[in-house]
Chains A and B, each alone.
Chain A
């Protein structure tokens, strides 16, 4: 009885979480221009349209470029902070960590106004680097959390052993610490990459007219009416998300990377 209730609860939640994905995927393979679900005359015709339309392809590749670079910049900010906290218990690094956490915990509409004001005030408007840097700073808290977890998971005894056996500081860093922390860095990268892909309001306020990422283009199109092509973009993002996190799960221990313990 209890088990049945649990399965029902999990099943309903799975349906709830899967429903929008199923709808978007279904609409994307409609054979007709109208929005139909379940799809009628299923075909991949809209995928062809998407890939041959320069406007959609440009929005898609812009999104990818922004997300990849934002992830790299974000990790480049997080890694030194996490290292300084772990290695030196640096107070400055702890202050920077709280600053990163506060930025992440501001409501996104407030952040979007903050960045709109900032980029207009310094007169640097509508550039792709504005979008990249804004995303990178907003999400620093995530790689900071995962990489910090990675450093804390390093067994001090291992370092002792390496030193006793004559390893220099740089050797320890390279041969002991790096392999342990690397999966956590990758998961931090993936988190920023995925979240940066889906940001609408910040990207729009920062440089929405010039740097039209996929969510911005979809939103602009929604106002003009429905087009099946926009669901194609959504499906591609979805596949990207599944692929990215499956890759993380494959190279590392996902439950552990998320701060839990691994189970058999």
Chain B
């Protein structure tokens, strides 16, 4: 037994050093800094004050947190709403088409959110953007810039999140046993009923994971809301970024991060709790 432990110790030593040293320790440091005193010249690991957390009672920050949460729920719902039928379709495609779709979706991951936000800005601009297309179709009177707007932020974030949604849902949809649906149909269930009683229960869990993942990606996104959103509705991520970069106030940025993280965890918890409750009711 000890020989095994020794072997495991050697095998896992590097992963342990890396994940504790660069994962756990930095996180504890974040908590520590959030209660340290502010040192404008850099970083101070001294002092114990809740001053930075006091900032969280400012209405501006609470508003930004609400904006973050609202954006996360909308992007999560739209991404899963589109990704669910898309993954269903991809999972049923002929192999070559399926691989083509997967490579296409994965390849969009190689573009930075900076570039995606930029190209949405171009697509929504006054001079060469979508509004010109709408004018040509008679939907709008004259071309205008469609940014900054909440819609632009949502469109860009859905774009960034969708590949992750499909990746999360693909395994379960791909393994879904179509015979079960066939059996339900043979036993007299309508297509809708067969879908609701076979497909939905089997895919509910992964769909919720995809939803939570979309929310986390949205809450953490900095560039899209900064570039495409209205300054008065900038979410927490943008404020955290500017506090750390322009304000050089690390305790405050850390406290805001802890706050945003707590809100995200709570949001994920509520989402998972909601799915579990529905399972019990049905």
Contacts and interface: CB of A to CB of B under 8 A. Distances in A.
Contacts of B277: none
A105 B241 contact: no
A100 B109 contact: no
- Give the interface centre of B14, B106, B115, B171 by most chain A CB atoms within 10 Å: B115
B12 A260 contact: no
B114 A218 contact: yes
Contact of A249 (B99, B217, B257): B99
Nearest to B7: A88
Given A17-B162, A114-B27, A200-B222, A92 B19 contact: no
A195 B4 contact: no
Contacts of A154: none
Given A198-B110, A218-B115, A9 B89 contact: yes
A37 B121 CA distance: 13
B122 A113 contact: no
A156 interface: no
B240 interface: yes
A206 B260 CA distance: 20
Query: Is the contact region of chain B dominated by helix, strand, or loop, or is it mixed?
Result: helix
Interface string A228-260: 001000100110111011100100001100111
Contacts of B264: 107
Nearest to A213: B112
Interface in A214-229: 214-215, 218-219, 222
A263 B168 CA distance: 19
A254 B99 contact: yes
B241 A99 contact: no
Given A24-B119, A114-B26, A107 B219 contact: yes
Interface residues of A, number: 88
Interface of B: 4, 8, 11-12, 14-16, 18-20, 22-27, 29-30, 33, 42-43, 45, 82, 85-86, 89, 91, 93-95, 98-99, 102-116, 118-120, 122-123, 127-128, 159, 162, 167, 170-171, 173-175, 213, 216-217, 219-223, 227, 236-237, 240-241, 244-245, 250, 253-254, 257, 260-261, 264
22 contacts: A13-B86, A17-B108, A24-B118, A77-B18, A80-B15, A93-B8, A107-B264, A113-B257, A115-B26, A117-B29, A117-B30, A120-B42, A120-B250, A137-B23, A198-B109, A198-B115, A199-B112, A200-B113, A205-B245, A218-B114, A234-B112, A245-B102
